[in-house]
């Protein structure tokens, strides 16, 4: 059983189709990135998963349950929307104590102390939240969302409006809570670099349809492009002729003192290096070529908008 399952999900508003036959799964313990432009249907998907909206067609499950009708399952899920859900006039500890009462958290004092330390706000525990920076409020909002030790936490644009330093703090916090709390993180974000750094799997939504769903590693692999770039120390004249005769090399493009090689078998890189060294070439660097998540995202979104 997956932590999150979406099967054939569709939803319309006022005869406008927002989601069209969307399907994906999220494994237990994953940090999953849900990507798409504004209006793509990301927040609608989350609201349906949480049971706040009914699907028009298809079905969704979180921890194998329908949160729209299962109170016990809802208690095992945490949520942080763009609004942190905090009272500015209350202290950091006071905010968490209030929610601990709502959630029925056991040993709330110890849990609050633990989370304030985790989000690096222990020294501000008694200060009014209204005096906090946007980044501090966001970190406290994440602490609120995981206060009751949920198995799955939904984070809707957790880095929105933050400066680069605060974005990094929130990114590191998400990774830490995933490891330390052993929870599944469903991350809705526009920060593609952040997603590429911390997510294991992503889905790209555009014009209401799922355009890509795979591991970050598979998506960013340079499929159809040079798989390996070899930088030579010195002239590379004749190098492409050498490697072009190798059975596992399907293409070679010279670029100054570098070679861009496409391999039939990515595991043949050591053999490629050995062949070049054996032919008398000195190698300075070998690296696998890859595409950024931003490139892939813009490609899929552009194709979707062009075909709309």
Residue 211 maps to which CATH number?
3.40.50.300
Cα–Cα distance measured from residue 304 to residue 210, given in angstroms and rounded to the nearest whole number: 10
Residue that has been written with the tokens 């709390």 in this structure: 181
Burial of 282 (0-12, 13-18, 19+ CB in 10 A): exposed
Inform me whether the pLDDT recorded for 286 exceeds 80. yes
Residues 276 and 178 in one domain: no
The pLDDT score that the predictor gives to residue 31 is 95
Answer yes or no: do 94 and 208 share one domain: yes
As a whole number of angstroms, the distance between CA 262 and CA 81 comes to 44
Count of domains observed in the chain: 2
Cα separation, 268 vs 91, whole angstroms = 59
Query: What's the pLDDT band for 22 if we cut at 50, 70, 90?
Result: very high
Residues 254, 123: one domain?
no
The residue behind tokens 């799955």 is 152
Q: Of 151-160, 223-232, 254-263, which has the strongest mean pLDDT? A: 151-160
pLDDT at 225 over 60: no
Q: What is the pLDDT of residue 102?
A: 92
Same domain, 204 and 163: yes
- Domain boundaries, position 66: 4-220
How many residues in total does the chain contain? 308
Residues 167 and 284 in one domain: no
CATH number at residue 237: 3.30.70.100
Question: Is residue 71 domain-resident?
Answer: yes
33/75 same-domain check: yes
Domain boundary among 220, 242, 265: 220
pLDDT 10s digits, 71-108: 999 999 999 987 888 999 999 999 999 999 999 999 99
Do residues 102 and 210 share a domain?
yes
Secondary structure, 3-state, the chain? CCCEEEEEEEEEECCEEEEEEEEEEECCCCEEEEECCCCCCHHHHHHHHCCCCCCCEEEEEECCECCCCCHHHHCCEEEECCCCCCCCCCEHHHHHHHHHHHHCCCCHHHHHHHHHHHCCCHHHCCCEHHHCCHHHHHHHHHHHHCCCCCCEEEEECCCCCCCHHHHHHHHHHHHHHHHHHCCEEEEECCCHHHHHHHCCEEEEEECCEEEEEEEHHHHHECCCCCCEEEEECCCCCCHHHHHHCCCCEEEEEEECCEEEEEECCHHHHHHHHHHHHHCCCCEEEEEECECCHHHHHHHHHHHHHHHC
pLDDT of residue 148: 94
pLDDT at residue 16 tops 80: yes
69 plus 92 within the same structural domain: yes
pLDDT digits (tens, 9 = 90+) for 243-283: 888 988 888 888 888 888 888 876 788 999 999 999 999 99
58 and 197 within one domain: yes
**62 and 141, same domain (yes or no):** yes
Which pTM value belongs to this model?
0.79
Q: What is the pLDDT of residue 267?
A: 78
- % of the chain at pLDDT higher than 90: 53
């Amino acid at each position: 059983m997956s932590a999150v399952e979406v099967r054939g999900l569709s939803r319309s508003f006022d005869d406008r189709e927002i989601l069209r036959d969307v399907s994906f799964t999220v494994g237990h313990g994953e940090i999953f990135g849900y990507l798409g432009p504004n209006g793509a249907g990301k927040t609608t998907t989350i609201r349906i998963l949480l049971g706040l909206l009914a699907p028009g067609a298809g079905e969704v499950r979180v921890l194998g349950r329908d949160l729209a009708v299962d109170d016990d399952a809802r208690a095992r899920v945490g949520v942080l929307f763009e609004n942190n859900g905090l009272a500015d006039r209350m202290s950091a500890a006071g905010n968490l104590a209030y929610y601990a009462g709502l959630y029925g958290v056991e040993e709330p004092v110890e849990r609050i102390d633990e989370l304030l330390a985790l989000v690096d706000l222990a020294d501000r525990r008694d200060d009014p939240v209204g005096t906090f920076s946007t980044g501090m409020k966001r970190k406290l909002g994440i602490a609120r969302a995981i206060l009751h030790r949920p198995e799955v936490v939904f984070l809707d644009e957790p880095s929105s409006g933050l400066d680069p330093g605060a974005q990094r703090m929130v990114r590191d916090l998400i990774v830490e809570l995933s490891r330390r709390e052993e929870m599944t993180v469903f991350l809705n974000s526009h920060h593609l670099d952040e997603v590429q750094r911390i997510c294991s799997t992503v889905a790209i939504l555009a014009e209401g349809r799922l355009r890509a769903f795979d591991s970050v590693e598979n998506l960013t692999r340079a499929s159809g492009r040079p798989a390996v770039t070899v930088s030579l120390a010195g002239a590379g004249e004749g190098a492409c002729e050498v490697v072009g005769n190798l059975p596992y090399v399907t293409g070679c493009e010279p670029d100054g003192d570098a070679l861009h090689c496409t391999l039939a078998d990515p595991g043949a890189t050591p053999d490629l290096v050995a062949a070049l060294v054996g032919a008398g070439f000195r190698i300075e660097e070998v690296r696998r070529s890859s595409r950024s998540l931003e490139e892939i995202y813009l490609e899929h979104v552009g194709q979707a908008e062009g075909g709309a």
